[in-house]
Structure 1
């Protein structure tokens, strides 16, 4: 999360910087320490620790500087300039190996850090490392060719100062309207801000303006894959392969697009075709494993994940992917390896997070619940530092939906949308059983399962607007949008999701976060079916807490935030049921476990579908499943998992307090399963 400096704080930081430039190091240190004694936001504290360490190094106090950097890196282990300072300190004491490690880590965190690249080049030259020298020189040349404002914007972007980076980039584009590198950089900033539509428009424009600009087209392809627009991604990957038929990166992108479109066998074959051509195949083995797991090839997926960590020893995601199969059991040696890597300060933070979650699962399988919880908590703490989740914003979003999406709104505008009955939305909280509901319904001959589609979230983001100084336009603007737009939005949803479907008349969108936008869904698609996947709050929230999600779900990395989010979810669902009576079916996970056939018939009746026995034998249905529950829903219903949270109950008091006794009492009857 980017923090906007107040005017006085910003001025004080500039004064310290000026003192350092004037070689008034003791005075700079004094001012920095005075500010550090105050309660300031983490981003400001990091800047102060950095300036203090620089002052100490210049003053000739390397030990003090090292201690200051240690404190800074505890706050932010990926602070690029802190790592660069560690490099300078190591160089000064003659430890070139440690210096090279520090500078290299700095460039991994901020590839625009020109000083670190130049320091690395000098160290590689001294060591006679020709290949590394060439790589460093390539980076230096690329950075030096950038116009200074774009180099500055890149630096700010990698430092997480996205608003400042965007402003600098836009100012440059005002003077250089169709500068491709500037447009690509602005698109990357947009991706980091999760403004995907703007980023896509910029990159699409780059491709139109400069069709042969391979880098821009590759960036466009990467974004299309990230946003799940696999049909478009396939077109771009094939275009690139026509120009560069031996390019392994393009083949990997095409494989990802094919897997996204459900062409898993083709994608798997393409992944396998490039493995022997890569010097570092770990990432491809990981993607191969995901594709194999999605179609139920469990043993092959495990082998791929193991090969991934064999090729890169600190590859935390490979270990987590093994844990995330939910059925794999780690060997003693694997647990030892994970513990060693998790405790190594050289291990990148993202990998450490993956190791912590994987270790949590390993010790849970051993029934060592105390150690398991400690590892889950460590992973969540690091992940929470990265995410910067703000619970108040979720509460404000829910308040806005309740305020503006009234019964009167649906009376006046509820029949303006597209009349297609195709979509069935399964929503709620992650880990509430939505994958099981999808698998059951997708076992029906008239229903296609798809995936967690981002289309509704993307539309809501577009409607919200971008002016950070004002309240979001959405959902208040649902009262003001022209009548014809509701049908247009609904038709666009149907058209844009067609590539994920087969030929069945109905299809499922199981994006859980869509519960925030049920009002929007019913306005653009009034005949869509809504199913609320509900689970006991303690079971659901703790299952989310121990799950490392690929992207999003930032509320899940704190027990307190998770409890607050669940309460907001229940509050909003109560509102939707008041203003849209009879239009949402709540399916309680525990009731489904107790009376599977009864609940399946209830769902099919709600969707106006005849009963089919295949829905009872859902675990026999062969289809691609890309969620953490993929292996679980290929087995008959298992009641044992319903109360797993009980093993961790001694550590879950913050969650209980966040949920509150009144809410918990409503679900007490489900605790006897």
Structure 2
């Protein structure tokens, strides 16, 4: 065998998942036997042959590094253990057990404060790490921090009361092993039906897997069995808001408040639901009531600011955000929320404070309330806010550096795989062919009410929504989750004959969301679905979105991600209108890169990911143009800026609406707007953002190369 062949064979073995798993198990056995020398050697050997080219290989590398760090610690090589764990945290800042290992090492070296710092970090990332909580409890007792003692003891009592399989499952969830946790929960529920904590945990897994319909059913069942289950109720409230079901969330909060009067998290959840419903004055009053009656005010001021911003009261919103950071100096989200108004200019003092926060080192102080390091999420918020501050000051190199650091740190927290989106596009193109539309013609709900605005975030969709919502016959709503929820249901479904199992798919297994078996999962299963379901799905969509509407005959659904599911929209709502909000690729991608989203849009945290997503989007929209001619109207953002009236008339004609002057005077329309562009669309058209990316043309050269074929 040649040298090249030997190297190829070695690489293939090093990247064989079965052999890697076997090797890791062998090393664990060596550690448990106390054979640390051999464990260290085997870890080093496997690390020397690891290929870092894929996400799986990176995960394997981290696992080998973690086993190496444990072996170093147990063999007394503490400095090497520290360096190895720091290497892990460089690769994955949210690795709870690396923090726990560092804490063990520092404790062995009698550095109690450093140990406590890392035990604390471990519990913030993985609240199920019982040993870290117990170590913290001892530290808090020694330092006589009674408030922290109470908190730690409460968490210990909760974890120790959990059945061991459920505690283990919780641990697996925070470690990212969702399917292992799912399996443990289901096995436990087979023996202990209707056990509350297992049902709650299984629902949480469903939410993380975005199988929201299954999670909703589990939480509904949990609360039916245990109406006063506070944790289950709060999780249900979060899920309902995530799904955009704000009326249901408000009703649920009212029910829970009967059992838990004035419980702050429930009241806050009710206020959040009211913001979603547009009941802003009532929501603002609730937030203010909570602020007046609690010492934990920072997060409440932030939420109050969001509500005021949605109402268009920007001066008051800015004041609320400033009050939030005055309550907590390292509250990165408060600073980012100021930046996210898009028009706020930071003072030199605020910039200096943000820089100090992200650069501060360990100090000799208690960590129970004031951490001696800044949380990763706060650091991410500071990076993006500082990027905006430096860009406003025309310090473009510094701005790009901050944006890049924020994106890199955010990306390290995610499990985003761009190939999944590419595969979804391929699946959609394969299934949604003219033959399918011909076979199902006339099966959907005939209601013409919805106007879908799709595309990429930061492509000008909020402006189009504001223009249309200024028409007397059109209600503006928000980014509705209903189509995505339907897709989630279909992805999680299994066929029985040609019908779905129940209208709510209650019997589905969470793993169905990942099934790719032909004819069994979305979109393949549409070909075998009973045709009557398409009308039902359309009718259900109209019914479920009624709560977001007023009395106008038409309404807008501005969820950008719906571009992937235009074929499904055509099948269930054939008379709907779809508008593709398109923006020049470089401007759109860079705008996404410098935007920190509240949730979702995970493709935006790396230039290569953004480029691939944009290319997939263009490919998907080209397919819809071919198979559904004239169903989608493409509106170029730059054309709207250059010829507002011409484009407004074109859009209204497509939507079968008469021209109204109010659509040109869109900035005068008063309505709830919750997207980052909320302040911008309350002003007349301006073109300052068109060329912003060119200030960063050198740094964006790799992006330009990836997009070369469509520029």
Residue 522 of structure 2: SS of its match in structure 1? coil
Residue 413 of structure 2: SS of its match in structure 1? helix
Cα distance in structure 2, aligned partners of 1:558 and 1:440 = 32
Cα–Cα, structure 1 residues 5 and 436, in superposed 2: closer, same or farther, change >3 Å?
A: farther
Partner of 1:16: 27
1:270-309 aligned within 5 A: 270-309=286-325
Q: Describe the superposition over 1:376-400 as per-residue Cα deviations: whole angstroms up to 9, x where unpaired.
A: 1111112222223222221211112
Partner of 1:670: none
Q: Describe the superposition over 1:224-268 as per-residue Cα deviations: whole angstroms up to 9, x where unpaired.
A: 122221111101111122222232222111111111111011001
8 A Cα contact 1:414 1:522, kept in partner: no
Partner of 2:37: 26
Residue 556 of structure 2: SS of its match in structure 1? strand
8 A Cα contact 1:25 1:55, kept in partner: yes
Cα distance in structure 2, aligned partners of 1:183 and 1:394 = 30
Q: Describe the superposition over 1:174-233 as per-residue Cα deviations: whole angstroms up to 9, x where unpaired.
A: 111111110001111111122111111100011112223233222212221222211111
TM-score normalised over the length of structure 1:
0.96
Alpha-carbon offset, residue 26 of structure 1: 1.3
Does structure 1 residue 258 correspond to structure 2 residue 274? yes
Residue 359 of structure 1: SS of its match in structure 2? helix
Q: Describe the superposition over 1:503-558 as per-residue Cα deviations: whole angstroms up to 9, x where unpaired.
A: 11100000011110000001000000011111111111111111111111111112
Aligned residues between the structures: 660
Residue 641 of structure 1: SS of its match in structure 2? coil
Alpha-carbon offset, residue 5 of structure 1: 9.0
Partner of 1:470: 516
Alpha-carbon offset, residue 279 of structure 1: 2.3
Alpha-carbon offset, residue 331 of structure 1: 1.2
Cα–Cα, structure 1 residues 33 and 469, in superposed 2: closer, same or farther, change >3 Å?
A: farther
Does structure 1 residue 442 correspond to structure 2 residue 459? no
478-487 or 501-510: which moved more?
478-487
Alpha-carbon offset, residue 147 of structure 1: 0.8
Cα distance in structure 2, aligned partners of 1:572 and 1:249 = 41
Does structure 1 residue 215 correspond to structure 2 residue 215? no
1:383-398 aligned within 5 A: 383-398=410-425
Alpha-carbon offset, residue 617 of structure 1: 0.5
Cα distance in structure 2, aligned partners of 1:516 and 1:98 = 48
Residue 320 of structure 1: SS of its match in structure 2? helix
Alpha-carbon offset, residue 566 of structure 1: 1.4
TM-score normalised over the length of structure 2:
0.91
Q: Describe the superposition over 1:76-113 as per-residue Cα deviations: whole angstroms up to 9, x where unpaired.
A: 11211111122122222222222222111111111110
1:536-615 aligned within 5 A: 536-615=584-663
Q: Tell me the C-alpha RMSD between the 2 structures.
A: 1.5
Cα–Cα, structure 1 residues 471 and 379, in superposed 2: closer, same or farther, change >3 Å?
A: farther
User: Which of the numbers 242, 245, 260 marks the counterpart of 2:258?
Assistant: 242
Does structure 1 residue 177 correspond to structure 2 residue 177? no
- Where do 5+ consecutive residues of structure 1 fail to align? 665-673
1:418-429 aligned within 5 A: 418-429=445-456
273-282 or 421-430: which moved more?
273-282
Q: Describe the superposition over 1:594-619 as per-residue Cα deviations: whole angstroms up to 9, x where unpaired.
A: 11011101111111111111111000
Runs of at least 4 residues of structure 1 off by over 4 A?
A: none
Partner of 2:704: 656
Cα distance in structure 1, aligned partners of 2:358 and 2:441 = 53
Residue 450 of structure 1: SS of its match in structure 2? strand
Partner of 2:532: 484
Alpha-carbon offset, residue 440 of structure 1: 0.3
410-419 or 336-345: which moved more?
336-345
Cα distance in structure 1, aligned partners of 2:150 and 2:627 = 64
8 A Cα contact 1:417 1:524, kept in partner: yes
